[in-house]
A and B are shown apart, each in its own frame.
Chain A
Amino acid sequence: MQTQKSHNLNQYDLELDSSGGNPITWLSFAALFVVLCGLLYPLVTTLLGQALFPFQAKGSLLERNGQIVGSSLIGQSFSGAGFFVGRPSSAGKGYDPTSAGGSNLAVSNPALLERASATASDIAAREGVTVEQIPVDLIAASGGGLDPHISPAAAELQVVRVARARGLSVDAVKTLVQKHTAAPTFGVLGQARVNVLELNLELQR
C-alpha cells in the first residue's frame, strides 16, 4: 500500500489512524468547543440580538412611571371584579415564572376533574353564566403556567362584569378588548388571542 500525501480532503492518507488521537487532542477538543460554542457563540448572538432588538432582548418588559410592571409575554394573577382574569396557572402560587410548569394532570386523573369543576363553578358564579358557556381555555391550565393570553371568547365572557365594575360602557370595554386581540399569524399560525396583562394595564390607567 503506497502512501499519498495530499491536502485535498477527498484523498486521505492510506495509513489510517486506529487509535483515535491522543489525550492532548481529546483535552484540547473539549477546551476548544467550550470556548467556541459555549462562550463565543452565545456572546456574539446575544450582543447582536441586543443591538438589533433591544426591547425584546430584555424580556419585553412593560414599564409605567419608570417602574417595571411586568412582561408582555408573562401573565399575572388577577382576581378583582374590574380586571380580566387569565387562565388557571400551575406555576407556584400562580404565574410565578421561577416555578413555571403545567398541572401535569392526566385526562384520566380525578384530581383534574376536581380542579376544573371548582374553577368552572367559580367562573359561572362570577360571570353569571352557566358552565356550558365557559370557553375551555378558562378552566384548562396552560403548559408553562405563564400564558399571557386568553381566547377572544373568554374575554367576551368577562366584558359585562368588568364594564359594570369600572362604570364603563360595555362597548368601550369591547373596543379595548379588540385593541389587544391578535389574529392567527398570517391567518394560519396559532390561534386568536387576547393579552390579559396589556388589556388590564390599559383599563387601570
Chain B
Amino acid sequence: MEVFVSYLILFLLAWPLGLYMARVFAGGKTWLDPILNPLERGIYALLRVNPARGMTWRGYALALLWSNVPIAIIAYLIFVYQGVLPLNPDAIGGMSWDLALHTTASFITNTNQQHYSGQSQLSYLSQLAAIVTMQFVTPAVGLAAFAAVLRGITGGIRSSNVESHVAVPAANLGNYYVDVTRAITRVLLPLSIVVALLLTWQGVPSTFDGAKTATVLEPQTIEGKAITTQTIPVGPVAALVAIKQLGTNGGGWYGPNSAVPLENPTPLSNLIQLISILLIPVASIFMVGAFTKRPRFGVMVMGIMSLLSAVLAFAIIPAATQANAAFAGISASSANMEGVEQRFGPIASALWATWTTQTSNGSVNAMHDSLNPLAGMVALIGMWLNVTFGGDGVGFLNFFIYLIVAVFIAGLMVGRTPELFGRKIEAREMKLASLGLLISPLLILVPSALALAIPSVTANSNPSFHGLTQVVYEYSSAVANNGSGMAGLGTGGSVWWNVTCAVCLILARYVPIIAPLAIAGYIGAKKSAPQTAGTLRVDTPIFAGMTLSVILIVGALSYFPLAVMGPIAESLTIGKPLPQPVPLGQLNQRPPEPVRTVSEGK
C-alpha cells in the first residue's frame, strides 16, 4: 500500500514539474520570472557570460570540466583546513589528504560516497560551503548536459534562417552557464527551500548552535565507565538533507544517513525524502517529450524506465520482508529488522533501498549490509543498470548510450544506415557510445578483482560470500555515482579505498557525460533525412523492446557472475554448514530440514 501511494504521489508531482522544466531549459516564461530574471542577468554579468551565445559540444564539455575544477579545489582546501576555519562550533579537526581527496571526488561527481561520519568529522563550514555547494552544482550540471544532449539530437538550436534539415558546421547545444544557472535558480533552489522547511517541521534540526549535551535519564556503567551524558549533534541539517535528496546526491549530515532519527524523524519525513529521491529524475523524463517536441519518444523512454523501476520494486519487497535467517527460532517470526528503523519498517526501507539505487542518490534509511542477500542484490542491479530514471540529468545520458547502441543494432538487423530522428549514426558516434558503455563494467570489475586479490586492503566486516558482495558494492556504488554503501567495509582510514574509489568516481562521472555530449554534437550538425516508410522509428513498442533488451543484456551479462558469487551464493548457503567453523553460542540450532529447493530466496 505504501508502495502504491509513493509511486502515485511521485508521478502526480513529477508530471507538472517535467513540463515546467521543459519551459525552463527552453528559455520560456515561468511564474518566477519577475524575481529571477534580474537575478540571472546579474549572475551572467558577474560570470562575464553572454547568455545568448551558444556552445559547440567541445565548448560545452570544456566549460563543464573547467568550471568544476575550482569548486573541487575550494572544497578540498576547506576539508583539509576546516580545523582552523570558522563555523566550527564542535572544534573538529582537518581531514587527512586521502580522505579529503575521496570526499571531494565523491561530491563533485554527484556520488556522495562517504568514508567519513559527518556529525563528528565535518565542521559546519565543510557541510555547507563545500558539501551543499557541490550538492547543488552537480545535479545542475547533470541537468544542463541532459538539456544539451536533447538539443543536439534534434539538430541543435537553430536560428530562424537556418532550416532544420540542412547540415551545419557545428551544432549549437546551448549555453552551459545559462543552463546550470537556470537549473539552480528555477528548479533546485525553490524545491529545496520548500523541502527543507517541511523537514524542519517534521523534526530535522535547523540551527547554527553546536552539539547539545543531555543528562541521561538512567546513567549506565559500561565497561567500568559511568555514562551520564549524551552528546546530541545538531546543525543546519534540514538545508543539507533537502538538496541531498532532490539532487540525487545522497550524502547525509550524519554517518548512517536517513536512518538517523534527527535526519529522518517520522514516517511522513520519510515519504517526503523518498519522493524527493525520484522527483527530478522522473520529471526529467516527462520533460523529454515536451522539450524535443516528440511526445511519443518521451512515452517510450518513460515506459522502459517505469517498467524496470516497478520490476525492481516488486522484487525487493518480498526479498527484504523475509525473516532474517540469523534470528530464526530466537524471536517471534517476522520481517528482517536488523538495520531497519522501527518507525519506517521493512517495506518503507525496501522501497527506499531500491529507489536510492535506481537513481544515483545513494542515501539510505536502513543498513544495506544487513539486508537479506537477495534484497541487497536488487540494490546492486539498480546501480549496474543505472538507467531506471538514474541521476538528475545523467540518468537519461546513460539511457541515451544504450539507445544509440540499440539504434545501431536495429539498423544492422534491417540493413539500413542507423539513424536517430533522421540523422545518421556513424563510426565516430558508435565508438563514443561503446566507450560510454564499457567504462562502467571496466571500472567495477578490475578494481574489485584487485581489491579481492589483496585481502589486507579490504577490511571487511563480514566473512565469506558477503565479503565479496561488500567489495563489489563499494565499487558499483562509486562507478554508478550512487554513494550508498555496505557500511561495514573499513573504508574510513584506508588510503587504498580512498584513492581507488576517487579514480573510479571521476572517470565514471565525466566519461559518460562527455561521450553523449560529443555524440549529440556530431549528430546535431548533420542534415536530417525526411522520414519515410523505411525509416527506423525509435518511438515504437518494438524498438522499446529492443532498447530494453540491450539494457538487460549488457547489464546482466557484465555482472551476472558477481551476482552469483555474492548475494545468490550467500542466500543459498545461509543456515547450511559454512566452509569455516560456525562459532558457538547459538541458542537454537536449526532443526534438520528437508532438502530445500533453489527457489528458497524468492
Verify that A and B bind, or say they do not. yes
Q: Which residues of A contact B (CB under 8 A)?
A: 1-2, 4-34, 36-39, 41-42, 44-46, 48-50, 52-53, 56-62, 67-71, 73-74, 76-80, 83, 87, 93-114, 116-118, 120-121, 131-151, 153, 182, 184-185, 188-191, 193, 197, 200-201, 204
One digit per residue, 1 when the CB lies within 8 angstroms of any chain A CB and 0 when it does not, for chain B 165-185 equals 000011010111110000010
Q: Is the Cβ of B132 less than 8 Å from the Cβ of A6? A: no
Q: Are A21 and B338 in contact (CB under 8 A)?
A: no
Q: Tell me which residues across on chain A come within 8 A of B367, comparing CB atoms.
A: 102-104, 143
Per a CB cutoff under 8 Å, which of B159, B214, B588 touches A12?
Answer: B159
A144 x B259 contact (CB < 8 A): yes
| B238 touches A (CB below 8 Å) | yes
Measured in the bound complex, the distance between the Cα atoms of B145 and A20 in whole Å is 13
Q: B197 to A190, Cβ gap below 8 A? A: no
Which stretch from B431-439, B458-466, B530-538 is at the chain A interface? Answer: B458-466
A44 adjacent to B193 (CB under 8 Å)? yes
Partner of A71 from the list B1, B175, B232, B574 (CB cut-off 8 Å) is B232
The 6 A-B pairs of least Cβ separation, nearest first, read A190-B267, A9-B27, A143-B259, A104-B488, A20-B62, A20-B63
User: What residues on A are CB-neighbors of B26 within 8 Å?
Assistant: 9-10
Asked if B500 lies at the interface with its beta carbon under 8 angstroms from chain A, I say: no
CA gap between A100 and B264 in the complex, in Å:
14
In the complex, which of the residues A10, A44, A140 has the most CB atoms of chain B within 10 Å of its own CB atom? A140
**9 interchain pairs, CB-CB under 8 A:** A18-B55, A24-B48, A41-B136, A41-B239, A105-B370, A106-B373, A108-B570, A135-B332, A143-B367
Please give, as numbers and ranges, the residues of chain A lying within 8 Å of B562 by CB-CB distance. none
B338 pairs with A79, CB closer than 8 A:
no
CB of B61, distance to nearest CB on chain A (Å): 7
| Inter-subunit contact A74/B487 (CB<8 Å) | no
User: Is B254 touching A100 in the complex (CB atoms < 8 A)?
Assistant: yes
Contact across chains for A46 and B197 when beta carbons are under 8 A apart: no
- Minimum CB–CB distance for B32 against chain A, Å: 15
Taking A32-B43, A109-B461, A142-B341 as given, write out 15 further A-B residue pairs in contact, using a Cβ cutoff of 8 Å, ordered by the A residue number.
Answer: A8-B27, A12-B159, A33-B133, A34-B74, A41-B243, A44-B193, A56-B205, A57-B207, A107-B324, A118-B585, A142-B259, A151-B342, A182-B343, A185-B267, A200-B218
Cβ B215 vs Cβ A69 within 8 A: yes
Let me know if B13 is at the binding interface, CB within 8 A.
no
Within 8 Å CB of A33, what residues of B?
A: 71, 133, 136-137, 184
Distance between A203 CB and nearest chain B CB, rounded to angstroms: 9
| Known interface pairs A17-B54, A46-B238, A87-B342; A25-B327 also in contact (CB < 8 Å) | no
Q: Is the CB of A105 within 8 A of B343?
A: no
Residue pair A139, B330 in contact (C-beta under 8 Å)? yes
B residues contacting the other copy or chain, number (CB 8 A)? 161
CA of A83 to CA of B335, assembled, Å: 26
Collect the chain B residues with CB atoms within 8 Å of residue A147's CB: 261, 341-343
Residues in B whose Cβ lies below 8 Å from that of A114 = 583, 585-586
Q: B373 to nearest A CB, angstroms?
A: 6
- CB neighbours (8 Å) of A182 from chain B are 343
Do A49 and B370 touch (CB < 8 A)?
no
Contact B336 A107 (CB under 8 A): yes
Q: In B312-342, which residues have CB < 8 Å from any A CB? A: 323-327, 329-342
Judged by a CB distance under 8 angstroms, whether B59 is at the interface is: yes
With a cutoff of 8 Å between Cβ atoms, the chain A residues found around residue B267 in the complex are 184-185, 189-191
> With A12-B53, A77-B227 in contact, is A116–B327 under 8 Å at CB?
yes
User: Given A98-B119, A139-B327, A144-B260, A191–B345 Cβ distance below 8 Å?
Assistant: yes
- Of all chain B residues, which has the CB nearest A95? B230
User: Which B residues touch A83, using CB under 8 A?
Assistant: 217-218
| Least distance between A51 CB and chain B CB atoms (Å) | 10
Bound together, the chains give a CA A17 to CA B521 distance in angstroms of 13
Given A38-B129, A144-B259, A30-B206 contact (CB < 8 Å): no
Q: Is residue B597 contacting chain A, with contact meaning CB distance below 8 A?
A: no
Interfacial chain A residues near B494, Cβ < 8 Å: none
- Closest A residue to B373 by CB, please name it: A107
Docked complex Cα distance between A100 and B371 (Å): 18
Docked CA distance A140–B466 (Å)? 19
* CB atoms of A38 and B128 under 8 A apart: yes
* Contact of B396 with A by CB under 8 A: no
**In angstroms, how far is the closest chain B Cβ from the Cβ of A171?**
24
Tell me whether B207 and A143 are in contact (CB under 8 A): no
Instruction: Return chain B residues, CB-CB under 8 Å to A185.
Output: 266-268, 271
A6 nearest CB neighbor, chain B only: B52
- With a cutoff of 8 Å between Cβ atoms, the chain B residues found around residue A133 in the complex are 332
Partner among B66, B117, B326 whose Cβ is within 8 Å of the Cβ of A20: B66
Q: Which of B208, B332, B488 has the most CB of A within 10 A?
A: B332
- B573 in the interface, Cβ–Cβ < 8 Å? yes
Partner of A149, one of B162, B254, B342, B463: B342
Q: Which residues of B contact A15 (CB under 8 A)?
A: 53
Shortest beta-carbon distance, A99 to chain B, in Å?
A: 7
For residue A8, which residues in chain B have a CB less than 8 angstroms away from its CB?
27, 52
- Chain B residues whose CB sits within 8 angstroms of the CB of A184 once the complex forms: 267
Residues of A within 8 A of B135 (CB): 37
Pick the residue among B55, B333, B338 that contacts A103 (CB under 8 A).
B338
How many Å from the CB of A187 to the closest CB on chain B?
9
Inter-chain contacts of B49 with A (CB < 8 A)? 21, 25
Check B369 against A102 for contact (C-beta < 8 Å): yes
A108→B338 CA distance, assembly (Å): 12
Evaluate whether A28 and B588 lie within 8 angstroms (CB atoms) in the complex, with A53-B200, A79-B220 already known.
Answer: no
For the complex, what is the distance from the CA of A182 to the CA of B203, rounded to whole Å?
A: 16
Complex Cα distance A143/B130, Å? 26
**A201 engages B56 (CB within 8 Å):** no
CB distance B338 to A112 under 8 Å?
A: yes
The answer to whether the Cβ of B593 comes within 8 Å of any Cβ in the partner chain is: no
Q: How far is the CB of B522 from chain A (nearest CB, A)?
A: 14
Shortest distance between the CB of A29 and any CB in chain B (Å):
5
**A38 and B330 contacting across the interface, CB-CB below 8 Å:** no
A153 to B337, CA, bound (A): 14
A22–B373 Cα distance when bound, in Å, is 50
A8 to B65, CA, bound (A): 27
Contacts of B600 in A (CB 8 A): none
A45 near B242 (CB under 8 angstroms)? yes
